[in-house]
Amino acid sequence: MIDSSKSEVNMSQRKSKFRLSPPLTALIVAFILFLLSGLLPNGFNTWQTAVNQGLNILRLASFIAIIGAGQTLVIISGSEGIDLSAGSVVTVGALMTYMFINGNNSLILPILLLVLVMGASVGLINGLGITYLKISPFVMTLGMAGVVQGALILWTKGYYDGEVAPIMTNIIARDLIFGIPGMIFVWIIIGIAITLLLTRTRFGKHLFAIGVNRQTARLSGVNVNAMVVLTYVLAGAMAAFSGFLLVGYTQNAGPNLGNQYLFPSIVSVAIGGTQMSGGKGTYFGTIAGAIVIQLITSLLTTMQLPQALQQIIFGSLLLGILVIYGREKSLRM
Amino acid sequence: MRKVKKFNLSSWWKRINVKYSIGLSLILLVLSTLIYLVIQPAILRPGTLSRLMTSNFRTWLPVILVTIGQAIVLLGGGLDLSNGSIVSVGNVILALTVITPEEPWKNLLIVLAVIAFGAFAGLINGFFTAYLGLQPVIITFATSFVFSGLALLLLPTPGGAIPREYTDVYRNTDLLGLPISLILIAIFVLIWAFIRKRRYGRFLYAVGGSPSSAYTTGVPVTWMKISTYIISGLLASFAAIAYSLLTGSGFSGSGEDMTLASVTGAVLGGVSMSGGAGSVIGSVFGGIILGNIRNIISTLRLDSWWRTLVNALVIVVALAGPGLVNLIRRNK
């Protein structure tokens, strides 16, 4: 039982030869869902509408996936890692961009830096609380979500006025080349960066090590506390960056902009086959998961189901995925 | 003579800390209550104290109930992040269906249905976490989404009403000079004190402390864990009833803040997040401390833009408290 995580890794490696990996399954499901959505009354009837609809779904999925990038990192880091402050951080990042840039192209870079620092500091507090004060990640980040939201209310005093810079609109919201939105290129760059970070760097190697077993990681010379703090800092910065991108797309910001992306981002990580207990996962999976989530959302929206029902469906979906992928460490030996 | 007394006091203090781990929360409880009373205007006028007690305890009862439930789940080594949304569902059902007390048996059935829902919701949590062996954090987070979606589906906009005849009973009944809400808390604490001494209590601490050794000594670990979630669900449904009687109306987000408050209250009360250590009476203290702090903040008449931030900071600092104490102790 003690070395279950190790044998599990071996087992899953062996198994993957015989069965589809979670990300691939997710992509196939996504494709089927996409075809299904074409069968709806107001679905696509020509190639052009199909391509447009596909691109649109990819664009919407990109926001879930970029918030999910930070979430993937903290979940891989193990010990019930999760970042529930991401939603509030996205909102604050978006509002800072919106209100401070105020339509001024020359302010984009300094404000982007400020936004990243904001996200990183929230992540730093999360990380310090989790490592040194031993607060469970869920509770710590949920508490910080409240603090960030409170700071937001105090800062804006309910008054949201600003404008997105024209360059941001051009890059993020409009089509860049061949009718493909710029956001998708941003997403591809982030996707490659995160994947390289996870697979090719020492950080990635150590991240999986602390996710599998912190004790053994510590004994083999990994500075576990520093790794955990750094992971939450990265996640915070990623969430803030998502806010920056999101407001470039929506062109408008309000006090609840980010919260609606929090749960989907976590579900997308789970769909992508990243183990919720840590130590195993890919960013490619999260990307596939985000596309599935966005397709389901679009399907439910075209079917005009109420928001509440979507919530129930996503909750049940997460439960189902956890049962399928996540069974492990049961006490009944 | 004096020496003996001092010895007794310190051993009493040690006992409280070791057995119930409520030393810190006891200090905080006394301190926060004193501060709250001192800053109250007209505290010395006769009747003020009992009025404050009635109005405070009826407001705190829902949170204290979910905190007790959370404490029991935490003692068993789990975590219930869906208790707040169970409160929401209960509140919505009650607000939509309870009618004027002409047909009391009908209302009784509704209340029983709400309680049954709480137990069922707890059973679902227990099934996924204990029986299937999945992580409580993420499972109860997922179920909380399902439950709060259900509440929102049933009652998209705030509304519904509980008849005055019922709300008045809850709001203004005094027994032996004590508000009914305080008496209910005392009853729950006494029931638990009784259970704690039985087999169930011993098993619970064993399961939370070390599930594998509890398993090898023949404790039905899975069932024990499932039962804690059912208890938490039941207490959440009681909280829903109390909340509905308190506000007299329905709101799909009524329990939203209670989840984090229940965890914070339990932690403030000395319940360990890793299971097997702490006490239910401590969690009640934790709930009261949280209520006191909220009251102090509102009595100070802070600028309303500050309120969310200060409340959230209090929660984070409260969660950080035990960790900070440990950190300082270790460095000494």
Measure A69 CA to nearest chain B CA, in Å. Answer: 18
Lowest mean pLDDT of A117-126, A236-245, B17-26, B77-86, name the range.
B17-26
DSSP string, B131-158: IS---HHHHHHHHHHHHHHHHHHH-SSS
Q: Tell me which amino acid residue B134 is.
A: L
Mean of the per-residue pLDDT values for chain A?
A: 84
CA atoms within 13 A on the CB side of B176: 4
How much is the pLDDT for A87?
A: 93
Q: Answer yes or no: do A133 and B139 touch at CB < 8 A.
A: no
Q: Minimal Cα–Cα distance from B98 to chain A, Å?
A: 23
Burial label, A46 (beta-carbon count in 10 A; 0-12, 13-18, 19+): exposed
- The DSSP secondary structure of A148-213, one letter per residue, reads HHHHHHHHHTT-------HHHIIIIISEEETTEEHHHHHHHHHHHHHHHHHHHSHHHHHHHHHHH-
pLDDT recorded at residue A20: 64
**A2 in contact with B, Cβ within 8 Å:** no
Q: How deeply is A227 buried, as exposed, middle or buried, from its count of CB atoms within 10 A (0-12, 13-18, 19+)?
A: buried
- Of A243 and B304, the structure prediction assigns the larger pLDDT to A243
A2: pLDDT strictly greater than 50: no
**Are B291 and B304 spatial neighbours (Cβ–Cβ below 8 Å)?**
no
Contact B311 A146 (CB under 8 A): yes
Q: Do A132 and B310 touch (CB under 8 A)?
A: no
Nearest alpha carbon to residue A168 among A179, A177, A176 = A176
Cα–Cα distance, A123 to A82 (Å, whole number): 11
- Which of A206-215, A261-270, B80-89, B177-186 has the lowest average pLDDT? B177-186
Q: Which residue of B has its CA nearest to A134?
A: B323
ipTM of the complex: 0.83
Percent of chain A scoring above 90 in pLDDT: 37
Interface size A-B, in CB pairs within 8 Å, comes to: 150
- Closest by CA to A149, choosing from B311, B260, B267, B293, is B311
Q: Over the stretch B96-153, which tens digit does the pLDDT of each residue have?
A: 888 777 778 888 888 999 999 999 999 999 999 988 888 888 889 899 999 999 999 9
For range A124-141, the mean pLDDT? 91
Tokens 């203290």 — which residue?
B285
Q: How far is A168 from chain B (nearest CA, A)?
A: 31
pLDDT (tens digit per residue) in A304-317: 888 888 889 888 98
pLDDT at A235 over 90: yes
Residue B263 has pLDDT above 60, yes or no: yes
Which of B203, B253, B208 is closest to B79 using CA atoms?
B208
- Report CB contact under 8 Å: B316, A129: yes
pLDDT of residue A19: 58
A312/B146 touch (CB, cutoff 8 Å), yes or no: yes
- Interface contact A150-B320, CB threshold 8 A: no
Query: Confidence class of residue A275 from pLDDT cuts 50, 70 and 90?
Result: confident
Contact A316 B146 (CB under 8 A): yes
Q: Chain A: nearest CA to B126, how far in angstroms?
A: 13
CA distance B53 to chain A (A): 29
B126 touches chain A (CB under 8 A): no
User: Given this model, what pLDDT does residue A232 score?
Assistant: 96
Phi/psi at A42 (nearest 5 deg)? -100, 30
Residue A41 has a pLDDT of 63
What is the tens place of the pLDDT at every residue in A65-104? 999 999 999 999 988 899 999 999 999 999 999 989 888 8
Which chain A residue shows the shortest CA-CA distance from B131?
Answer: A330
Span A103-123, mean pLDDT?
91
- What gap in Å lies between CA B219 and CA B24, rounded to an integer? 31
